[in-house]
Structure 1
């Protein structure tokens, strides 16, 4: 067979000493190198052709794609994302029971052109303004009985109102009447026609909540334009004791509340704070917006009245229209507001007595009168609690019920004494008045 031109697998080695070639398998060595070089060159040229062809095809495709995109219109994609969170489920369980509360009071200011020119406002040219001031808050429907539904809200939302309206979550507006209200707990109960009520809230046990668990606030921040808004946060503290003041800034007592960082804004007052199960664990009442000492801005500090206290209060309000609490039937003043000289001369106190409540007047029906207390006596303890000021006295007193007998510690003409006092008097507007703490 003629093997000319075929690679037979043999090669020649070059002797490095003399440059001579060693034949290790027959002839044809130079042909091998020629074939190798030709194959290498052909491979490079072929590779260049392939790469060039791919680049040309790719460029043509890009030009076609860009041409198509320049003519196409932007469209939305029909992507349906189904995500159900625990917060969403909780909200669905109660949203129909959350309402906006609109309280209206008459504006007593008079509009008188004659008065501007010095004429009497009783003149015929004087006309009283018919305008109304509106105070907006939130509420939650917690009970339905026959044709009547009951709403709990904050007392400060409806205080002083001549009429109250409820805006339901479905847009219906209903007239509401006040069943009862309590300024100390800052709670009020309203009743409405149950015709449009399809959902009522349930109360959870506020004693069982934990710091760090999810808390959701629902209400109408800044008014009914933002009705049924939901904010999410956590329980920051279970039992936070804070001072409560009236509109004049005078301390009226202390409240034990739930602290949360869920956003609470004006208009949220009276709305529910709920857990992840959709149960009401508190009624949103207030927000701390600045530090009293430094006026530094504060965020994420909202407070709610615990549900266990809410249930106790609303049951009394719904049944009696009021909350029954004991009263002492006295006018009083913090010892802090008595000068050092009067403490010694009038009250006959030693320097060791630094705090307490001074009895300024005793009513005829006061249980303290029967126990022997007199004007200018200084009360320092009631029951098992120390009395340092008006706030601590009310806290100690309201821990008891009408009919209880408590021990009262006091100073009479500088001498420490005790007396057993039976709390027979019920608190009302006339027997709970106190001397002003303003200098």
Structure 2
């Protein structure tokens, strides 16, 4: 394990020492696409909710009490240590496999209508795909403890980072690997050694799913790796002004591009921000200035993106991403008029089926040192989800503490259906009566 880590970290040391300011660095070269979208027509109203329907409330992680923090951690460990009949990996690892395989769509041996493009990133289904994905994960957590809802990390709050990264909550920074930093200093990070989510605590990663994001073929080992606030990605919190600018967009494609983390400065240069910045803040990343434009060099589990759900902070990050989208939608951008109907790769347009909820239209290619496809859960042929199905987040049975007062007037009743674990139902057409934090 040590040799594996040392080899990986040596390759990025030079790029870290030569890195400049993160906010002046171009974004991923292949991710900065901008897709024009026609001016929207009148927005489609948010579908009404019956007054008796109870919505689960996702709240700020800072508002979790000790019992709620413990319950969340316990449920994560339960999923990590539970294997369903017919599977060779845990329930938690199956979710990681889905995220990894979504990027396997870009591999040469991917087959089907959605092949050639990442199913979950770099294009406009980034938000719908992750809304569906984290909702299914939340429902699976609730199969362990029905009182749990996913908390969000408001990355503009200066107190959140120290609250989250504690040994008795989501774990600490890694240690054991020292890297040089810009200006002649050094920084220590690496595998989490003690406390929650360390290998010693039972948080052991599947080496076939913990994949080196640079080679996409080799493993990063069995330990969760963090280089929390490794320069140059060490500026925290993200300014509130950046979020205000994000929410001011009227065009969905511009909003998604900014929220995913490919924004532009006043000179039109792309900058690394929001979602992408937090991935790098937690995992650590340098930049390779030998390429034009400079390319990011991820180091830790979170910054690698591929296997990032192995870090439990992934769920807090993406819940905040979903919250910001929900707030933007509630602020006059609801409905299908605010999502592109065409012009995207397949799987990203309004009525396209999104993998893996596509009825088997596409099969990912091989990615990583093992056969990721064989590790995926089975999805029913009628488990179909399009971006359009995800646009009304309240149909999923949840809201956010920042949106409690904005629930639309009720005029009809939605049915309440049970949701099976992983790939057995279509949450976009269901509701759940929550059991804590209700309205």
* TM class by smaller structure: under 0.3
Higher RCO (C-alpha 8 Å, min separation 6): 2
Structure (1 or 2) with the greater helix fraction = 2
Structure (1 or 2) with the greater strand fraction = 1
- What TM-score do the two structures reach when normalised by structure 1? 0.21
